[in-house]
Each structure stands twice: as structure tokens, then as C-alpha cells.
Amino acid sequence: SPPGLPHIAGFFADKISLTALLSHLGLPTTQPQAALSQHRQFGRLKVLRNEAELLHFLQADARYPVFGKPLDLIQAIGSVFGRETN
């Protein structure tokens, strides 16, 4: 394997970074509304730091339906789907 390959594979596993790259290249992508992370920044994307911020986002700012996935897991492991309820 080329020496840098593991780092490239890690980049492609990061959903936010990969989505930003594909969008920059003009390819159609999903439109992330926010990311939940205690430590990372995501440019202009809204970052939620804790459960309280997540709940506020879901109650006040989210555009439904929403689909959530862990940033760095594969397939649909840990995925959630939410729709607005009255």
C-alpha cells in the first residue's frame, strides 16, 4: 500500500468532509444541517456540543424530516430518522 493511503481512507470515512468535497466538485450531495461533536469544527456548519444543544436544534431549527448518522461509521450503523410531530 502507498504510505499515505490510510490517511486518505480516513478522510473518505468522514461524512462531513467527504460531503463538502463532493459538493465543492459540483456533485449532488445531501445538505447537512448540523453536526454533533464536543471537539471538532466544521466550517460554516452548525456544531452542536451537547444533548441540550441537540434537543434545542431538533425543537427549533431542524428542517424535517431529518436523518442522522455517526460521522465515521460505515453502512447504516447508528442511523436515526426523525420527523416532526405536533
Give the tens place of pLDDT for each residue, 73-83.
666 665 677 77
* Cα separation, 62 vs 19, whole angstroms: 19
pLDDT at 50: 95
Count CB neighbours of 10 within 10 A: 11
- Using DSSP's 3-state secondary structure scheme, residue 78 falls into coil
11 — pLDDT class (breaks 50, 70, 90):
confident
Beta carbons within 8 Å of 11's beta carbon, 6+ residues apart? 17, 18
Residue 42 has pLDDT above 70, yes or no: yes
Number of CB atoms found within 10 A of residue 48's CB: 19
Q: Give start and end residues of each alpha helix (H) in 1-86.
A: 5-13, 15-24, 51-56
59-83: average pLDDT: 77
* Band of residue 72 on the pLDDT scale cut at 50, 70, 90: low
